[in-house]
Amino acid sequence: MTEIQTYAAIVVGGGAVGLSAARELGRRGIHTLVLEAGPLFHDHASSAGTERHSRVQYSQEDLSRLALETAAEWDRLESESGRRLRHRVGSLWFGDVDVDTNEGQITSAARVMDKLDIPYEWLTAREITDRFGFRDLPADYAGFLQPDGGIVDVKATLLALYELSIRSGVHVTPNAPVRSIEPETDTVRVVTDSGTYRTSSLVVAAGPATARLLRPFGVDMDYRVFEMANLSFVPSNGRVELPFWFAFQQPTERDTNLFYGFGPRPWATDSACRVAPMFEIDEITAETVPTLRPKAYDVDRVHDWVRTHMPMLEARAVSATTCLAVLPRDPARQFYFGPVTAPGAGTARIATFAAGWGFKFVPILGRVLADWACTGKTDVDVQRLSVS
């Protein structure tokens, strides 16, 4: 019979959130194991791609406060790793200022920024057109530029978290999908094809697999999984200078009609710009596995948007990829994130990040997950996001 290996803490999931939790556990001197289902840094899950949006504006005051608190955690991560991870190119929101979207609402986000003294510049449709080169925007569109937002370097962040975890003694095991997590007396047992492990402190950040793995503990997570398209375009005339941008529009009968994009990545050698739809349609189920190829509908819609509104880019994309998004069915929830009660597991502590647009919060998510796994409590105000 194979011997069960014991760790003080186990992290299930080696993406950005899992590695962030591992880094925090390691720096606290806790003997930690990370189990990643696939190869490290792969592009088939939620940490796929090369860049993410960094922002502090939210329609919810608590999320803006959390984003402001996360900024100090990003500073610490950059300092400890010696890597630049964020590039402040600005965050531009524009469009119908009163439309409610899965990203929030322009008017309510501006009210939150006013309350928290977060700087921003209000812009009309004409000013957005003249300043950033967009074309044919409806005259009643408006928005704001928040100067602290921008781009996060995904691959550099993953590498920084991995290196710091390894440096602190964390064991990271790729290609080790977890088959089950089972409650025991004051511990939990984590079963993989190659070995079985035991711990009293568990973090589960396994993306779409999280709900299945935590089902034995009576946790009900109502989230959906989507395969989101990302298209890359080259400038039509030299290099483009763009902030991150998000276009808020009224939905169509078929989709949310939301688009966003990035200017050239400051760390890249090319000048490609990414444009993507924010369409939560065609949910992935057990019968419809990810294809790793954008749907033709999404590609056509992005091409239409670029042709109509972005003359600074060539009309046809040079490449297209996908990224998994694991999102709560209730958009008002934003996240499934919190400590988990483990019936039958006694004093064992379990913490999870299961769903939500979380990359911009990665450093503080890791800190909070480590807090819960170690002590069952945290001093960071995330109560509204609780799993329960």
Query: pLDDT at residue 346 above 90?
Result: no
Percentage above 90 pLDDT, the chain: 80
What is the Cα–Cα distance from 161 to 180, expressed in whole angstroms?
26
pLDDT band at 285 (very low <50, low <70, confident <90, very high): confident
What is the tens place of the pLDDT at every residue in 34-89? Answer: 999 999 998 888 888 899 999 999 999 999 999 999 999 999 999 999 999 999 99
What HEC string does 281-334 produce? CCCECCCCCCCCCCCHHHHHHHHHHHHHHCCCECCCCCEEEEEEEEEECCCCCC
3-state percent breakdown (helix, strand, coil) of the chain, nearest 5: 30, 30, 45
Q: Where are the alpha helices (DSSP H) in the chain?
A: 16-27, 61-81, 106-116, 125-132, 154-167, 210-214, 296-309, 362-375
What is the tens place of the pLDDT at every residue in 183-193? Answer: 988 999 999 99
What is the tens place of the pLDDT at every residue in 94-120? Answer: 999 999 998 899 999 999 999 999 999
Phi-psi domain of 285 (left: phi exceeds 0; alpha: psi -120 through 50; beta: other):
beta
What was the pLDDT predicted at 15? 95
pLDDT band at 93 (very low <50, low <70, confident <90, very high): very high
Q: What is the average pLDDT value for the chain, to the nearest integer?
A: 93
CB 64 within 8 A of CB 56: yes
What was the pLDDT predicted at 388? 60
What is the Cα–Cα distance from 32 to 25, expressed in whole angstroms?
7
What is the Cα–Cα distance from 208 to 205, expressed in whole angstroms?
9
Domains of the chain listed by start with CATH number: 5-48+155-222+333-385 (3.50.50.60), 91-147+223-328 (3.30.9.10)
Query: pLDDT at residue 221 above 90?
Result: no
Beta bridge partners of 246: 93, 260
Which of 152-161, 269-278, 281-290, 303-312 bottoms out in mean pLDDT, i.e. has the lowest? Answer: 281-290
CB 156 within 8 A of CB 84: yes
Query: pLDDT at residue 132 above 70?
Result: yes
